[in-house]
Amino acid sequence: MNKSELSTVTHFVLLGFPGPWEMQILLFWIILSIYILTLTGNMAIICAVRWDPRLHTPMYVLLANFSFLELCYVTCTVPKMLVNFLSKTKTISFSGCFTQFYFFFALGTTECFFLCIMAYDRYLAICYPLHYPSIMTLRLCGILVSLCWLIGFLGHLIPILFISQLPFCGPNIIDHFLCDVNPLIALSCVPGPTIEHVLHFVCTLFIIITVFYILGSYALVLRSVLQVPSSVGRRKAFSTCGSHLVVVSLFYGTIIVMYVSPTSGNSVAMQKIITLIYSVVTPALNPIIYSLRNKDMKSALHRIICGMRMIQGS
């Protein structure tokens, strides 16, 4: 039997969070609210950095790019999830499923490397404050950002391409709210353990490399901060890194459980909840974390809001 005879699946069914219609409506409004909050918060950060010349520094340029990444990350999964809450069929096309699969992993990997260069930026600012302006230029910032996108989008291309070539002859029901690696490979007619292991190895490698780099950067930052004689200086340095560390903890804490530690002991429902946290909830919290803990960002947002009110009132 050849591949063309085996590959009869043209679409998949995403079960999402099964339950009565009332629960589907409730989940729809909860996820929609989180999505709107994510869009609003991250767009506010992008606009603040774009319109306020005082924020045209590498730190805030990185933050604006990170916010744009978060917008892309949630948009590759949430709109389809919202549609499925209100749909009885809950289908996604074969090509649509693998497109979502690819962008979900590519953008997630890009986020890992973005968090790395943000840690590098803080390391330079605190450990080498006098040399920071000459090292972390806007040009270097642009190069690092481009490398993050390049690694993220090329790193998973070949494994996901191979998975898409596996024959799928039914069933076509995915017990998840998005197209993820384990549910997809489980539906293949021909076992593909090698390519599954390759993808898991690539994911684990990227996660371990980036998390150890971030931890190493902050270990050096901590050593440098503890040598600062002034308690005010130490508080300022910790405050500068605090927001980034909270974001790192939220993101890596969940993806390590999902993709590095064995998931066989986790129920399907638990895997859905973990995925929901790092793919939907965390991007909504990031703007709140960064804006509430950053005086410059709060001031820029305040100036933008006041300016908009003055324009509307004139």
Structure tokens, 177: 């709210």
- Specify the residue for token string 């999902």: 258
Find the farthest-apart pair of alpha carbons in the chain and give their distance in angstroms, rounded: 74
pLDDT tens for residues 69-91?
999 999 999 999 999 999 988 99
Q: How far apart are alpha carbons 93 and 199 in whole angstroms? A: 22
- Close Cβ partners of 46 (under 8 Å, ≥ 6 residues apart): 64, 67, 68
User: What are the tens digits of pLDDT across the range 83-131?
Assistant: 999 998 899 999 999 999 999 999 999 999 999 999 899 889 888 889 9
Q: Are 293 and 242 in contact (CB under 8 A)?
A: yes
The pair of three-digit structure tokens given for residue 181, joined into one six-digit string: 């690696």
Q: How far is CA 211 from CA 55, 104, 180, 251, 313, in A?
A: 27, 19, 22, 10, 49
In 147-277, beta strands by DSSP E = 173-174
On whether the CB atoms of residues 90 and 84 are closer than 8 A, the answer is: yes
Q: Do 207 and 105 meet the contact criterion of CB atoms below 8 Å apart?
A: no
Any idea which residue has 């995403």 for tokens? 14
Bridge partner list, 14: 174
Tokens at 89, concatenated:
């069929």
pLDDT, position 232: 65
In tens, the pLDDT along 140-196 reads 999 999 999 999 999 888 888 888 888 888 788 999 999 988 888 888 887 666 777
CB-count exposure of residue 35 (10 Å: 0-12, 13-18, 19+):
buried
> Which residues fall within 8 angstroms of residue 40, CB to CB, at 6 or more apart?
none
Torsion angle, alpha carbons of 291, 236, 129, 56, to 10: 20
How far CA 163 is from CA of 3, 105, 197, 270, in Å, comes to: 13, 13, 11, 24
Model confidence band, residue 6 (pLDDT cutoffs 50, 70, 90): very low
**Residue 120's pLDDT is what?**
93
User: pLDDT tens across 265-287, in order?
Assistant: 567 888 888 889 888 998 998 88
Map out the domains of the chain with their CATH numbers: 3-313 (1.20.1070.10)
Query: Given phi > 0 = left and psi -120 to 50 = alpha, else beta, which region is 262?
Result: beta
Instruction: Output the six-digit token pair for 235.
Output: 């508080």
Estimate the crossing angle of helix 58-75 against helix 94-127, to 10 degrees. 160
The pLDDT value given to residue 265: 52
| C-alpha span between 93 and 311 (Å, rounded) | 46
